[in-house]
Structure 1
Amino acid sequence: MLTGFEPDTARLSEIRRVERRNHACIVLDHFGGLDSLVIKDIPEPEPMPGHVVIQIKAFGINHAEMHMRRGEWAEAAPVSGIECVGIVKSCPGGEFAVGSKVVALMGGLGRTINGSYAEYTRATVGAVAQIESNLPWEELAALPESYATAWTCLFRNLELVKGQTLLIRGATSSFGLAALNMAVDAGAKVIATTRSRDRFKKLEDLGAHRGELEGPDLSWRITEAKQIDSILDLVGNSVILDSLRILRRGGRACLAGWLGGLAPISDFNPLLQMASGVYLTFFGSFVFGTPGFPLSDVPLKEIASKVEQGRFNAKPSRVFRFEDIREAHRMMEANEAHGKMVVKL
């Protein structure tokens, strides 16, 4: 039927092209509270050499993103999010096949380049790893940040081996639970701290030798003081000096989290406050994706396989919709997560 209207097909094609190139993101509108997280459409990331464009299927929620939202981090990109799982849409260098399943972590995501709170992101090749797994997307999304960081801390920084005694401070965090899973699987005796006795059973069910109440005076209360081989300290600066007092001679502490806040150690005199012969190391996951720390070095495929086999209990504690990002941040801020929270697109 003739309508007397002849469409401008070139214009319609251009409109459709532009529409296809927009995608939904959660943008930091300003630094501050939950209202700073705003959903809006922005142009889809273009392919670039040395990068991978990923169609995001799910992403994890992390404390780092809370600090970025508040403006407490050194760097924060307009689109937050430091990790994701998804499908390769483009990879000009051919490092990853289009359509392959990948995880992405750090490499500037959410810090210096737009991150994973989006339908698409563009990550550097070094910050991406291929992973073949039958896990649902939301379960796969619970792995990258928590498990890659915990694995590096345990088996690189602390050089944990079977039969050693490991103390995990802040063990009911998603990071701590990942470390507990892997340390128990490796044959270590694990003592795990939490701020509530109600969580002791959860830790023991995952294989912890026992739970201890977290506090700045733990070195005075723990019966294994001066006998601990390794400490993974996720509480941070507020207790790290106390952790050093717990180690045996030759023992190692790895500082890798700040559940107790970002305030620096105000007065640290190693001569008076650090026992002779103990080692203090640090690991920050922001180095993943740099030349010295490619994500491919972490055995994520093996980790995912152990989750599938039931050897690791890595299910997310909560799964949110994209539009519920503010509620996810509210729960994280209120310490109500009790494990890894993820967003499924």
Structure 2
Amino acid sequence: MRAIVIKRHGGPEVLAIEERPDPEPAVGYVLIEVKAFGLNHAEIYMRSGAWGEMPEISGIECVGLVRADPTGQFRPGQTVVALVGGMGRSLNGSYAELTLVPATNVVAIETRLSWEELAAIPESYATAWSALIGILQIERGQMLVVRGATSALGQAAVNIAVDEGIRVIGTTRRPLRAGLIEAIGAQAVMIEEPDLPKTLRQQHEEGVDAVLDIVGNSTALGSLTMLRRGGELCLVGFLGGGETLNLQPVFQIPSGRRLSVFASALVLGGSEFPLAEVPFQSFVDKATTGTYRAKPAHVFGFDEISKAHRLMESGDAKGKIVVTVNP
């Protein structure tokens, strides 16, 4: 099979297409013929070496067809989505024509979407839904701030929240992108700047019900001050970098507020966060009808992986980047 491999740690130029042996079917795993995969910021860290040694084939999600499943849970030719479960971290990932994924991290889907449209959904929507509904348990009529709302994960969160009847304030670093967030249903848009938490509290004196922070440790303390008493912050990303968060809870977490974390790549598909809880078919159906504006922002060919990584690293994608395999 053809695979995109990390020859050495570094920039997008270190990604190379080479031949590798086809993975062998194994009990407990599903062999998938990859049709397309979405890119994720985690793969920048994997490629650069920031997270230490990783498998040579990156990629934490994909969509495709079942080639083989020794346990018989999935039938050959069945359309599936697959995500995390060690993909790209402890196992070779989805940047290949074939990938072997734990069965716990594979979900069968029925869809009329194209492969590239389907590939824009799995990881972003599973993470957003799990954080919003599974952890924050935010409810209709409540107010949510999504920090980093123009990212693929941010747009998924806005789509899901708006559909659930939640009032959403989206944030962005760039004023020209405000229209993008409003177009998917955000009630208001605020610009990321140092005084954002203070400005928000001036507009919403009692604070908001929840904050979904995709920017990460650099904004976490400010996000906590946005909350009302009983409100909760959930950290789900690190768009702002992976700097250490030095936290003194008694002095830096306002009394009566909660801080949680959802590390999707480490727990989705496990016993505490089984994929059976995540309504993947509903995501796909709502993307098909246009309830969710979930189309990929950019689509690249397999041979354009370095170009795709450069765009992801630039921060200019304005949504999900998808790569097709043998279209």
Same fold (TM over 0.5): yes
Deviations 1:67-102 (A, max 9, x none): 100011255211000000000000001111111100
Q: Does 1:97 align with 2:79?
A: no
2:127 aligned residue (133, 149, 159): 149
Q: CA deviation at 1:295?
A: 2.1
Q: Does 1:255 align with 2:235?
A: yes
Conserved 8 A contact 1:161-1:188: yes
Conserved 8 A contact 1:216-1:238: no
Q: Does 1:228 align with 2:203?
A: no
Larger Rg: 1 or 2?
A: 1
Report the equivalent of 2:180.
202
Report the equivalent of 1:14.
none
Divergent runs of 4+, >4 A: none
Conserved 8 A contact 1:56-1:120: yes
Conserved 8 A contact 1:57-1:137: yes
Q: CA deviation at 1:33?
A: 1.2
Distance 1:225 1:93 in 2: 56
Q: Does 1:140 align with 2:93?
A: no
Report the equivalent of 1:18.
none
Q: CA deviation at 1:291?
A: 2.9
The amino acid across from 1:143 in the alignment is I
Report the equivalent of 1:5.
none
Distance 1:225 1:217 in 2: 15
> What TM-score results when the alignment is normalised by the length of structure 2?
0.97
Report the equivalent of 2:46.
68
Conserved 8 A contact 1:244-1:274: yes
Report the equivalent of 1:283.
262
SS at match of 1:43: coil
Deviations 1:121-152 (A, max 9, x none): 00001110111111000000000110000000
2:139 aligned residue (161, 167, 170): 161
Report the equivalent of 1:240.
220
Q: Does 1:47 align with 2:7?
A: no
What pairs with 1:115-134 in structure 2 (closer than 5 Å)? 115-134=93-112
Distance 2:51 2:111 in 1: 33
Distance 2:130 2:195 in 1: 27
Q: CA deviation at 1:226?
A: 3.6
Conserved 8 A contact 1:101-1:131: yes
Deviations 1:6-52 (A, max 9, x none): xxxxxxxxxxxxxxxxx000001011112210100000000000000
Conserved 8 A contact 1:75-1:112: no
The amino acid across from 1:58 in the alignment is A
How has the CA–CA distance of structure 1 residues 283 and 75 changed in structure 2, closer, same or farther, with 3 Å as cutoff? farther
Q: Does 1:87 align with 2:68?
A: no
Deviations 1:150-203 (A, max 9, x none): 000000111011000000000000000000000000001100000111111111
The amino acid across from 2:14 in the alignment is S
> What TM-score results when the alignment is normalised by the length of structure 1?
0.92
Report the equivalent of 1:17.
none
SS at match of 2:216: coil
Report the equivalent of 2:275.
295
State percent identity of aligned pairs: 48
Report the equivalent of 1:270.
249
SS at match of 1:121: strand
Distance 1:147 1:77 in 2: 25
Structure 1 unaligned blocks of 5 or more:
1-22
Q: CA deviation at 1:218?
A: 1.4
Structure 2 unaligned blocks of 5 or more:
none
How many residues align? The count is 322
Deviations 1:238-284 (A, max 9, x none): 0100000110000011000001100111x321111111111111001
Q: CA deviation at 1:120?
A: 0.3
Report the equivalent of 1:34.
12
Conserved 8 A contact 1:225-1:246: no
Report the equivalent of 1:182.
160
Q: CA deviation at 1:217?
A: 2.6
Higher mean C-alpha displacement, 58-67 vs 219-228: 219-228
SS at match of 2:43: helix
Give the superposed CA RMSD: 1.0
Distance 1:101 1:261 in 2: 35
SS at match of 2:32: strand
Q: CA deviation at 1:285?
A: 1.1
Conserved 8 A contact 1:87-1:99: yes
